Amino acid sequence: MDFIGTQKKVKTQTPASTKLTQAPKAKATSISELIRQKAVSLGIQPGQMNKVELIHSIQRAEGNTACFGTSNGRCPYTDCCFMADCLKV
């Protein structure tokens, strides 16, 4: 029962269209972690190898020339997944 002069509190709801919904952010994976995962998938134990040693091990395991970082800006292996990074070294 309401008394004269008092107001009822009315709950208002925000329409669903105005609510911000965000999907949970995916955990970022570094390039180094992807290289380690690739090495492990090939049966290589990364241990304390640095990036160049690890990539050379991957290249040998795949039957390729272990040439990462030795191209001096010129590389004939255009289908190599490490090429862009290799040319920066």
Q: Is 8 within a domain?
A: no
Give a three-class secondary structure readout of 36-89. Answer: HHHHHHCCCCCCCCCHHHHHHHHHHHCCCCCCCCCCCCCCCCCCCCCHHHHHHC
Overall number of domains in the chain: 1
Chunked into runs of 10 residues, the chain (89 residues) has average pLDDT values of 53 49 59 91 94 96 94 88 88
Domain of 65 in residue numbering reads as 30-88
Q: What pLDDT is recorded for position 12?
A: 53
- Whether residue 12 lies inside any domain: the answer is no
Chain centroid offset of residue 6 CA: 58
